[in-house]
């Protein structure tokens, strides 16, 4: 080994012995093993096409249900748009109910559901991959659609809860801002908790996804703040043409970053559940967590109940290069 490799291996030993470093490294390494970045791209793609049709559907339903209560209708719609700081203001003025012909309403409903189901399928795909669920245990066509519909219902309920709790903020002055933030964070935590359990076919308990849900909530609050800063210092000073591109690029980047951080938080749940740390930076040798992670990846390829995948490791997997004797080279 050269000196650079020796230094890297010594750093590797250090991170394996200290969980404060080894645990985050194991999460990042599993994120790469699962190719979760590609899954995040797919989620962001479907989310981009699902946002506006869903808001049209949401405003339409509110228009029918709350036709005599315009103030409450506006408050619910504004609460839904508050989660999209980059385009919230523009969509608030553009997302009008789908009124008119029945055909337009039906097409709008089906378009919204189709886009939302695409996002739901992408999210389930990502979660099942993160939990390394064997393909033979993934839900079928009907099961996937039911889970996707349940996730949509979960989002709708969260909007109603957030609106109700934030509406109580004036009663807690001068701590109304703190109350609004706490209420929003609590609802987001509950949503992530339910979504992490609902979107995977793995059998998980609430405590198995609690840490990841808490981290995802923190990530989401940071994203909200970043989006607000982007609007305040970039979009507000943009020209009409530049502003269009700034909104588009900002929205796509924001959605991708949100999906990526959410999946990263989900990886924390899996690493903690199966104790997939410490992982090695340079292999061999493989740690016990390395072997367990590779076995889970291989077992994921089981596609039929009659199929069983077995995994074995050669003796080289346990080789310790740093402990091997250095052989002197005789001069010519």
Domain of residue 118, residue span: 3-323
Rounded average pLDDT over 289-306? 95
Taking the C-alpha atoms of residue 314 and residue 151, their distance in angstroms, rounded to an integer, is 44
Rounded average pLDDT over 89-109? 57
If one counts the domains in the chain, the total is: 1
pLDDT level of residue 53 (50, 70, 90 thresholds): confident
Lowest mean pLDDT among 27-31, 65-69, 129-133: 65-69
> Does 211 fall in a domain?
yes
Unique residue bearing structure tokens 């339409």 = 60
**Could you tell me the two tokens for 254?**
């924001």
Higher pLDDT, 75 or 119: 119
Contact 3, 247 (CB under 8 A): no
> Does 330 fall in a domain?
no
Lowest mean pLDDT among 11-25, 62-76, 258-272: 62-76
> Does 250 fall in a domain?
yes
Q: List the one residue out of 10, 30, 55, 100 whose CA is nearest residue 271.
A: 30
Unique residue bearing structure tokens 């050669």 = 314
Query: Which CA distances in Å does 215 have to 13, 192, 220?
Result: 27, 10, 9
> Does 95 fall in a domain?
yes
Give the pLDDT confidence score for residue 115 in this predicted structure: 76
Q: Could you read off the pLDDT of 30-47 as tens digits, one per residue?
A: 999 999 999 999 999 888
**Could you tell me the two tokens for 187?**
């609802």
> Does 332 fall in a domain?
no
Query: Coil, strand or helix: which one is 189?
Result: helix
Rounded average pLDDT over 262-286? 94
pTM for the whole structure? 0.85
pLDDT at 332 > cutoff 50:
no
pLDDT level of residue 83 (50, 70, 90 thresholds): low
Taking the C-alpha atoms of residue 146 and residue 139, their distance in angstroms, rounded to an integer, is 10
**Could you tell me the two tokens for 252?**
């796509």
> Does 205 fall in a domain?
yes
Q: For 65, list phi and psi in degrees, rounded to 5.
A: -75, -40
Give the pLDDT confidence score for residue 145 in this predicted structure: 85
**Cis (ω within 30 of 0) for the bond into 104?**
no
Q: List the one residue out of 165, 167, 207 whose CA is nearest residue 186.
A: 165
> Does 328 fall in a domain?
no
Q: How far separated are the first and last CA of the chain, in Å rounded?
A: 22
pLDDT at 100 > cutoff 50:
no
> Does 308 fall in a domain?
yes
**Residue 38 CA from chain centroid, whole number:** 12
Neighbours of 24 (CB within 10 A): 15
């Amino acid at each position: 080994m050269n000196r650079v490799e020796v230094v890297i291996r010594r750093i590797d030993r250090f991170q394996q012995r200290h969980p404060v470093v080894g645990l985050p490294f194991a999460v990042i390494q599993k994120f790469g093993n699962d190719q979760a970045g590609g899954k995040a791209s797919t989620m962001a793609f479907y989310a981009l096409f699902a946002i506006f049709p869903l808001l049209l559907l949401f405003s339409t339903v509110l228009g029918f249900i709350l036709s005599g209560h315009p103030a409450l209708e506006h408050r619910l719609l504004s609460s839904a748009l508050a989660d999209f700081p980059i385009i919230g203001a523009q969509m608030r003025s553009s997302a009008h109910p789908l009124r008119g012909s029945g055909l337009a309403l039906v097409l709008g409903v089906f378009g919204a559901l189709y886009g939302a189901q695409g996002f739901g399928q992408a999210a389930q795909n990502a979660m099942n991959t993160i939990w390394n669920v064997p393909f033979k245990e993934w839900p079928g066509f009907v099961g996937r659609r039911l889970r996707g519909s349940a996730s949509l219902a979960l989002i709708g309920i969260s909007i109603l809860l957030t609106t109700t709790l934030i509406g109580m903020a004036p009663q807690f002055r001068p701590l109304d801002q703190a109350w609004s933030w706490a209420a929003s964070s609590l609802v987001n935590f509950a949503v992530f908790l339910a979504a992490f359990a609902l979107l995977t076919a793995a059998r998980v308990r609430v405590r198995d996804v609690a840490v990841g849900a808490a981290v995802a909530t923190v990530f989401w609050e940071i994203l909200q703040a970043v989006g607000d800063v982007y609007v305040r210092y970039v979009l507000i000073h943009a020209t009409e043409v530049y502003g269009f591109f700034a909104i588009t690029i900002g929205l796509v980047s924001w959605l991708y970053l949100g999906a990526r951080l959410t999946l990263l938080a989900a990886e924390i749940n899996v690493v903690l559940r199966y104790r997939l740390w410490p992982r090695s930076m340079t292999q061999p040798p493989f740690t016990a967590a390395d072997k367990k992670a590779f076995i889970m990846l291989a077992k994921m390829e089981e596609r039929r109940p009659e199929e069983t995948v077995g995994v074995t490791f050669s003796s080289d997997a346990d080789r310790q290069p740093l402990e091997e004797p250095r052989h002197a080279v005789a001069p010519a």
